[in-house]
Structure 1
């Protein structure tokens, strides 16, 4: 299972090489107005099915430089209270101290440390950074794929990527034990940025 995580959005800034990729160099803000971004999660329910959900409110930015991967970066801030599993009572439970404890920890953040290309074609990368969730900070790795980049119909320039990671609930102090099949949660991040 490919590792996902959280936010974050710097993978675009790290993938693809050559002149075409260099044309995309710059700093990008998440397209929060157009809602072309998603942070989703998937976790086993008792080993019999899967529960899917998402965070509806988050923001961030990333810097992309095709020739200098070391300068690439990403920052993401998530409103944990915006968790949405399509079930009001369950969402209330997810916001409680059993899970996200949103009253005490209203935000989760991801800040990259480094970006590492996978192979020579630079269309895949690993983004290593710090995820802070429920007041606990741990290093995670996002497996990221560049989706594409280029001019949009409104005169701007956009870049998009998808990334995945897997988190252990206990690593972030989540006390609720959902059984042996539900110790980890898969995170899927899809982000489109607009160059500033």
Structure 2
């Protein structure tokens, strides 16, 4: 019995061999101790031989029939089988995009006929869908006639008690071109002196 074969086994397998041989194995034993215990016991070696029979690599397998000649066509169907589905799948893959390119939309008449048939099948009266009319676009007060919009704005201002603005866009452009300045707050004379000293110190 070679130790290499025993070293190839796991500790659990070595303990199993010892239990089958009715040999007491220490509870906490390492692999080398278990291998030494198996090699020292004749029953353990017999149990190992039953669990792991030696394979004679030079002996031919028993199920081989030496009278039957090996034929190469047996390998050809295995190679041809994967090729055929691949060709079929590529042809299906090409057909699918072509069918998706064709328009699938139905005309309004066909849709109406389908609705009628469905209504007859379920015994429901046919409800015709109303075609939504294009709504006339109402212009916003600032976008339409500028004269009318300014008049409307003045009327609103008078109604709500707001100051009237003659040209709002001109005022908006002027306001956007200037930066906002924080309102000047009243400053103590002591604070002014501190600011002056700070300005002199930093050269501002």
Tell me which interval the TM-score lies in, with the shorter structure as reference length: under 0.3
Q: Of Structure 1 and Structure 2, which has the larger fraction of its residues in strand?
A: 1
Q: Decide which structure has greater helix share.
A: 2
TM-score when normalising by structure 1: 0.13
Highest RCO, 1 vs 2 (Cα 8 Å, sep ≥ 6) = 1
Q: What TM-score, normalized by structure 2, do the two folds share? A: 0.13
